[in-house]
Amino acid sequence: PQLLLDFLFGRLASLDCAALSATESLGTTGYFFNAHLYLGWTISTLWRLTSVNYRNLWPLVSILVGGYACGCFVLLRLFFGRWTATVGALVLMLSPVALSMVIYLRDYAKAPFFIWTLVLLILALRSRSWRSIMVWTCAAGVVLGTGVGFRPDIIILLPVGICALALGVGPRAVRKCAGGIAAFV
């Protein structure tokens, strides 16, 4: 329906579902919704609890921006001191690219998952004990798997993580390497 198209293309900020005809079939969910299943479920839940309005997505946007900001700080903190990491995280958070992407929720949704997967993989690479490698790689796999539900192209981190773990753990620690890769996948 034209009303729904106007809302989806941003010509309307809100949508009154009662204005849609009950006799018009909208069909089933398509590939796009199914490829972004967690994002679609989160948005539909927020709109079901409030009303269908883009402004009502602020809780999701806030969580994603907060996750990105914290992830940037922690990632930089792994390599730099507290103040340098704070300044670096502020620069990354307030960069024109990051600020311009916030309004494109579908594209921005991958940012915190991408950053946190990198953080957890680096922590796994720095770990010495088998148990901590398993914990960090399993956590990285959970974050990556959840992120794929929000934005499928983040799956690019799967081969990157496997290669990093295979090369980073070292040839003498084959058991740690194999266990870490299995936990990550």
DSSP 14: B
Q: What integer pLDDT is reported at residue 105 of this predicted model?
A: 81
User: Rounded to an integer, what distance in angstroms lies between the CA atom of residue 34 and that of residue 102?
Assistant: 22
pLDDT tens-digit readout, 29-44: 666 667 778 888 898 8
User: Rounded to an integer, what distance in angstroms lies between the CA atom of residue 161 and that of residue 35?
Assistant: 22
Question: Across-strand partners of 53?
Answer: 14
Q: What percent of the chain has pLDDT over 90?
A: 38
pLDDT of 46 > 80? The answer is yes
CB 158 within 8 Å of CB 144: yes
Q: Rounded to the nearest 5°, which phi and psi values hold at 49? A: -75, -30
Q: What integer pLDDT is reported at residue 3 of this predicted model?
A: 77
pLDDT tens-digit readout, 68-119: 999 999 999 999 999 999 999 999 999 888 888 887 887 888 999 999 999 9
Q: How far apart are the first and last CA of the chain?
A: 42
Region 13-21: mean pLDDT is: 75
Q: Which burial class, exposed, middle or buried, applies to 68 when counting CB atoms under 10 A from its CB (0-12, 13-18, 19+)?
A: buried
DSSP 13: S
pLDDT of 19 > 90? The answer is no
Q: What integer pLDDT is reported at residue 171 of this predicted model?
A: 59
pLDDT of 23 > 60? The answer is no
Q: Which burial class, exposed, middle or buried, applies to 162 when counting CB atoms under 10 A from its CB (0-12, 13-18, 19+)?
A: middle
CB 116 within 8 Å of CB 71: yes
CB 88 within 8 Å of CB 72: yes
Question: Across-strand partners of 14?
Answer: 53
Helix (H) or strand (E) segment spanning residue 38: helix 37-49
pLDDT tens-digit readout, 104-113: 887 888 999 9
pTM for this model (two decimals): 0.81
Region 152-173: mean pLDDT is: 81
Q: What integer pLDDT is reported at residue 83 of this predicted model?
A: 96
